[in-house]
Amino acid sequence: MENPIISIRNLNLYFEKQHVLKNINIEIPHNKVTVILGPSGCGKTTLLKTLNRLVDLHDHVKISGKIMLDDKDILVPNIDVTGIRKKMGLLSQKPSPLPMTIFNNVAYGLRINGLRGKRKLMPLVEKHLREANLWDEVKDRLRDPASRLSIGQQQRLCLARGLAVNPEIILADEPTSALDPISSTVIEQQFAELKKHYTIVMVTHVLRQARRIADHIVFMYLGEVIEQGPAREFFNNPKEQKTRDYLKGAFN
Amino acid sequence: MRKLLKTLEERFFFVLMAGSTAFLALLLLMIITIIVYKGLPSLTWEMVSQTPKGGYYFGREGGLLNAIIGSLYLASGAVALSLSISLPLALAMNVYFRNRKKLVNGIRFILDLLWGIPSIVYGAFGFTIMIYLGIRASLLAGIITVSIFILPIMVRAMDEVMKNVPLSLLESAFSLGSTRREVAFKVVTRQCFPGIITAVLLAFGRGIGDVAAVLFTTGYTDNIPTSLMDQTATLPLAVFFQLGSPIPEVQNRAYAAALILTVIILAISVATRLLSRKFHKTSIK
């Protein structure tokens, strides 16, 4: 692959005695939707959280290997972790807005980057809420607490909040699993739109969703990468027996 | 037969619950009734607006303004001092050292031990330190002693709330590129604000109501303190001294002092709850 934005080399991750990620080698293409696919409990989420070093929040985690982002290894101990995280927005399974107003949720990331004053913040907050397709629903209630929004709206708010930090990459961990079908569709459509400007890495165990939006697929099973490649090839011409079984629905 | 047993069991626990609730309510009611019944007749405007005059302790003119002001100074000072240590400590335990469970559990264990130490021991400890440093009994010594005494209460009460901040909230805050300081003060403090208020309130109540910690450290005086180095009267000590008097009027004034103390705690409790409600609505459930 030419010019992958992230390349993961020989990544191993242990949680206490448990070998969660086994010798992972992955390349993630620029400005495409890469879907990490696999049954529950195969290490997809852990892999995603290793990319922005959220695994640091946990005890007893041992990591070896390299994750190269812009030719820099982000796993070295003395790297600027907040800098890496600013390059990646995260959408989690269950949306978790910050305990503040709708406006301040989006403005949070802008303020972290040093922007101050409502006159400067307002147009950007509007821009990102539009990017997340939420503006029309919340423009009259920006002062309301974010917790009053519906779950679907909260997830789009989290997307807007992530975009406000101006990332290059959007990490999404089963972002539609808690949402109703309509909100899910909206999120998927936004991803198709956003991939013009962002690289998207999405974890899912829903095969149909992967078929709908993936450009590139990484298939994982029990902590190992079984197969990876362009989505069309993966679905039409899988190389591994495990992949064929999975696509046939032999296991979930 | 089985069904009958189930119904009986159900009924038994209902009676048990209702009974204990009623008992608790009755107890509170009795305490309040006694201090109101005995204290209210002695609770004059003079009591809360004047310091003791010459014959006060023989049942003549004067009031307890010295002890009211003294108690407020002492408790507010101690709460402020304690808060400035316990908030950062609780945040450190739950944000900075999130991935060091052993260390945090160690701190929790120490705090629980400190919580269990009776306040008279803190008083004696404060007294020893005072002698060692050559400081006399004063408002400052009292503030320091009481703040040490309420510190574990405050930290553990905040800690219990912060422990329950969902990991997903921390993750999303960190994933935005926040530093640990930003997560601690902008997100966790806000999310836990009602809990922090409760912790402060709990500590304030313990601080203002305690006798033993201030017995040796703040002394007692009929004057309102004008500096941190002055001796200071406190309401619990005022209750203690007056209750020990053989004169009935003075004894009744002890109940009046207890009533004042209760009203202060109630007023502050209501005020802070109103304040915390304002922030509660943005918290994430």
Q: Is the pTM of the predicted complex or chain greater than 0.90?
A: no
CA distance to A40, A43, B284, per residue, from A18 (Å)? 16, 11, 33
Mean pLDDT, range B194-213, rounded to an integer: 91
Residue A39 C-alpha, separation from nearest chain B C-alpha, in angstroms: 22
Top residue of A100, A102, A144, A150 to mutate, by most chain B CBs within 10 Å, is A100
ipTM of the complex: 0.90
B284 and A147 within 8 Å at the Cβ level: the answer is yes
Packing angle, helices B248-280 and B65-91, rounded to 10: 30
* Chain A residues in contact with B168 (beta carbon < 8 A): 92-94, 96
- A96 contacts B166? CB cut-off 8 A: yes
Residue B2: what pLDDT?
81
Chain A residues whose beta carbon lies within 8 Å of the beta carbon of residue B177: 82-83, 85-86, 109, 112-113, 165
Q: Is B177 on the interface with A (CB under 8 A)?
A: yes
In this complex, is the C-beta atom of B182 within 8 Å of any C-beta atom belonging to chain A? yes
Exposed/middle/buried for B173, CB within 10 Å: 0-12, 13-18, 19+?
A: buried
Q: DSSP string spanning B161-198?
A: HHHTS-HHHHHHHHHTT--HHHIIIIIIHHHTHHHHHH
What's the rounded Cα separation, in Å, for the pair A36 and A218? Answer: 5
Q: Distance (Å, rounded) from C-alpha B137 to C-alpha A135?
A: 63
Chain B residues within an 8 Å CB radius of A52: 175
Domain annotation for chain B: domains and CATH numbers: 68-247 (1.10.3720.10)
CA B85 to chain A, closest CA, distance in angstroms equals 24
The burial class, CB within 10 Å (0-12 / 13-18 / 19+), for B64 is buried
Q: Is B172 on the interface with A (CB under 8 A)?
A: yes
A→B contacts (Cβ < 8 Å), by residue, are 49, 52, 54, 56-59, 61, 82-83, 85-86, 88-90, 92-94, 96-101, 108-109, 112-113, 145-147, 158, 161-162, 165, 171
The structure tokens 């004053």 sit at A117
CA distance A145 to B203: 30
- Letter string b/e over residues B204-234, b meaning 16 or more CB atoms within 10 A of that residue's CB: bbbbbbbbbbbbbbbbbbbebbeeeebbbbb
A53 to chain B, closest Cα gap in Å: 9
Let me know: does A52 contact A88? Beta carbons within 8 Å.
Answer: yes
- Which pLDDT score is estimated for B23? 97
Cα separation values, B253 from A35, B44, B188, B232, B233, Å? 76, 10, 45, 19, 15
Closest Cβ–Cβ partner in A86, A98, A109 for B187: A98
Nearest to A99 among B178, B179, B282 (CB): B282
The pLDDT score that the predictor gives to residue B219 is: 87
Q: Which of B169, B177, B187 sits opposite A165 (nearest CB)?
A: B177
Q: How many whole angstroms separate alpha carbon A212 and alpha carbon A190?
A: 13
Q: Is B62 left (phi over 0), alpha (psi -120 to 50) or beta?
A: left
The minimum CA-CA distance between A162 and chain B, rounded to whole Å, is 6
- Chain B, 150-169: which have a CB under 8 Å from a chain A CB? 166-169
pLDDT band at B204 (very low <50, low <70, confident <90, very high): very high
| Cβ neighbours of A158 in B, within 8 Å | 172
- The whole-number pLDDT of residue A250 equals 72
Q: Are A239 and A223 in contact (CB under 8 A)?
A: no
Which chain B residue's Cα is nearest to A53? Answer: B175
A-B contacts (CB, under 8 Å): 88
Instruction: Please give, rounded to a whole number of angstroms, the shortest distance from the CA of B116 to a CA of chain A.
Output: 29
| pLDDT value at residue A16 | 87
pLDDT of res. A252: 62
Flag whether residue B171 sits within 8 Å of chain A, measured between CB atoms.
Answer: yes
Residues of A in contact with B176 (CB under 8 A): 85-86, 89, 108-109, 112, 161-162, 165
Which residue on chain B is closest to A88 by alpha carbon?
A: B175
* Residue of A61, A82, A92 with shortest CB distance to B171: A92
Percentage of chain B modeled with pLDDT above 90:
58
Whether B279 has a pLDDT exceeding 80, the answer reads no
Å between A160 CA and nearest CA of chain B = 11
Using the beta-carbon criterion (under 8 Å), do A82 and B179 form an inter-chain contact? yes
Proportion of chain B above pLDDT 70, given as a percent: 98
Which residues of chain A register pLDDT less than 70?
1-2, 252
Residues 6 or more apart from A166 whose CB is under 8 A from it?
A: A86, A109, A113
In sequence order, which residues have a C-beta less than 8 Å from that of residue A151 and are 6 or more positions away?
A: A94, A95, A178, A179, A180, A183
Query: Given pLDDT bands bounded at 50, 70 and 90, which one contains residue B282?
Result: low
Task: Answer yes or no: are the C-beta atoms of B285 and A147 closer than 8 Å.
Answer: yes
Q: Do the Cβ atoms of B75 and B208 come closer than 8 Å?
A: yes
Which residues does chain B have within 8 Å of residue A58's beta carbon, measured at their own beta carbons? 99
Q: pLDDT band for B280, please (50, 70, 90 cuts).
A: low
- How confident is the model over B50-106, as pLDDT tens digits? 888 877 877 778 888 999 999 999 999 999 999 999 999 999 999 999 888 899 999
User: How many Å lie between the alpha carbon of A239 and the closest alpha carbon of chain B?
Assistant: 35
Asked whether the predicted pLDDT for residue B284 surpasses 70, the reply is: no
Polymer length in residues for chain A:
252
